[in-house]
Amino acid sequence: MRTGKRIAELIMKLVQTAIHNPVSRIVTIVSLSLFSIGVVIVLFPKMEYLPQGNRNLVINIFVPPPGLSYEERKEIGDHFFKAVEPFMGKDTENYPGIKNMFYVGAEQIMLSGAISMREQRAGELVPLFMKTINTIPGMFGVSNQAGIFQTRLGRGRTVDVDVSGDDLNRIVQVSEMLFGTIMQEIPGSQIRPVPSLEILYPEVQLVPDRDRLKAAGMSAGELGTALDILMDGREIDDFKQEGEKKIDLVVKASERQIADPEDLYHSMIVTETGRSVPVSSFADLVRTTGVTEIRHLERKRTVTLQVTPPFEVPLEEAMEIINTKIITGMKDKGLLTGADIRQSGVADKLTETRKALQWNFLLAAVIAYLLMAALFGNFVYPLIIMFTLPLGAAGGFVGLKMVNLFLTTQPLDILTMLGFIILIGVIVNNAILIVYQSLNNVRDHGMDYRQAVLEATRTRLRPIYMSASTSIFGMLPLVIAPGPGSELYRGLGSVILGGIAFSTIFTIFVIPSLLMFFIKMEKSGRDSRSDVQPYGEDAL
């Protein structure tokens, strides 16, 4: 009790000094405000989109060389399993043991996935799988721990760099330059090109002869429809019984009948006149090379580089490096002629979310201000109370920085940013107590303005620090307690905890100093002036 009383007396002496005269008040307000703004500027980190989490799943996506047969894809899978066999079911070489693993070696995509025996250490398997992928001749790929909010394969915390243009060879050339430059500027990043940058995949083209088609009364589109029916089939209608699922009616040729491109080339189709004519009469068979996938963005051929930066590089920082340092630098050198570059995917979502949260923060502040204006019946005193917002924001960034220094890496993601919106409704409470009690002291007890502010601060000092202490220690487990899911709420808790602690210390000095300039608008009451013991140096 004695220690607490002495601390309260010391704080009140500092408050009394801060509001002693107009100069001391201005110095207090300006110095603490500039300090808070400086803290925000210095500690404002680069932003992430969504928390990655600690999901027990690692996905490996292979980018194979062109022309792999079924047997070769199977051999790659066997090699991959054999290479990680020593790590199956037991911890080896500081890597957690692999509990289960799968491999898919299809023509469209080659990938592998694994879960760890140690649920909290699955991400430590990524370097092992990357090392194993690099041992396969002609193969490269990416290995990432799947995010808890990830909905698409390979699309966790990625920045998509879209390279579009009319000439596929030029697009691939620019993409290769970007690939190498990004690897140099963002060391440790993983890049997956979609589709592959190889344009040597075997490809068979059926080039229509438009003159022959026109003579037979057909168009290139009708020929394409006929070829669709001969290959994968064409949906012509659907059938549905009541209470049953809809069944698509598809017309297609027998797979035994069309076994290779030559069979397709010599297959018979029917013209509008009813004649059966081979496909070879209307098209030429051309064997060439190409890419595995035809992608378009705004009607232009596109290759996308899915860049996954290392965890120590936030998404916003990676976006800035790619945009300002890499793309702008290459444009100035004339290396991107014939190609359009843009960022999309998670990069777009992060930009949109950041703007939305900025407006949400402003909206929350306006709502809080209008609500207090209605309760106080005045537009000035709520402005004084809202002055605590930059103090709380500075404390939020201090709390986040402390977590990164002493606990673990905690980015400024969406959930963490919500903590600043929550702070708006929390940190104003202390200022409300001081302002409201000061007004009561003047209106109801007829106190002198300076005496009213000091008395309000003194009587509300203990409740303010008690409520702040219970809030801080109550939320402390959110920040320091480990375990599954802690990475989701640790950032949120650190922002709220730091904001409350920081604003509680500064509010005691800033709000009385500000209030002294405006409380003189109030008229003193005469009810109980003689019943109140004046507060001053003698009372201390």
Residue 524: pLDDT above 70? no
Is the domain of 241 the same as that of 306?
no
Is the domain of 453 the same as that of 325?
no
Is the domain of 360 the same as that of 462?
yes
Mean pLDDT of the region 203-223 = 85
- Confidence band of 200 (pLDDT split at 50, 70, 90): low
| CA 286 centroid distance within chain | 46
For residue 345, give the DSSP letter: T
Mean pLDDT of the region 45-72 = 82
What is the structure's pLDDT at 534? 46
- Please report whether residue 540 resides in a domain: no
DSSP states of 435-447: HHHHHHHHHTT--
The span from the CA of 275 to the CA of 270, in Å, is: 5
- Please report whether residue 369 resides in a domain: yes
**pTM for the whole thing?**
0.74
Mean pLDDT of the region 308-330 = 87
Mean pLDDT of the region 226-241 = 82
Domain that holds residue 278: 201-290
Is the domain of 266 the same as that of 228?
yes
> If residue 303 lies in a helix (H) or strand (E), which one and from where to where?
strand 300-308
- Please report whether residue 339 resides in a domain: yes
CATH code of the domain containing 133: 3.30.70.1430
Number of domains in the chain: 4
pLDDT (tens digit, 9 = 90+) per residue, 268-280? 888 877 788 888 8
- Please report whether residue 538 resides in a domain: no
Residue among 516, 507, 335 at smallest CA distance from 431: 507
Q: Which two tokens stand for residue 309?
A: 């930066």
Is the domain of 461 the same as that of 325?
no
For 441, counting Cβ atoms within 10 Å of its Cβ (0-12 exposed, 13-18 middle, 19+ buried), the class is: buried
pLDDT (tens digit, 9 = 90+) per residue, 180-195? 899 888 888 888 888 8
Residue 399: pLDDT above 50? yes
Helix (H, G, I), strand (E, B) or coil at 59: strand
For residues 395 and 501, the answer to whether their CB atoms sit within 8 Å is: yes
The span from the CA of 218 to the CA of 374, in Å, is: 76
* Average pLDDT, rounded, for the chain: 83
Is the domain of 212 the same as that of 269?
yes
Residue 322: pLDDT above 80? yes
The span from the CA of 175 to the CA of 197, in Å, is: 7
- Please report whether residue 153 resides in a domain: no
- Confidence band of 1 (pLDDT split at 50, 70, 90): low
For 41, counting Cβ atoms within 10 Å of its Cβ (0-12 exposed, 13-18 middle, 19+ buried), the class is: exposed
What is the structure's pLDDT at 153? 65
CATH code of the domain containing 440: 1.20.1640.10
Is the domain of 299 the same as that of 373?
no
Is the domain of 521 the same as that of 377?
yes
Is the domain of 189 the same as that of 209?
no
For residues 279 and 266, the answer to whether their CB atoms sit within 8 Å is: yes
Is the domain of 389 the same as that of 454?
yes
Last residue of a domain, one of 247, 267, 290: 290
Is the domain of 35 the same as that of 130?
no
Is the domain of 431 the same as that of 327?
no
Residue 449: pLDDT above 70? yes
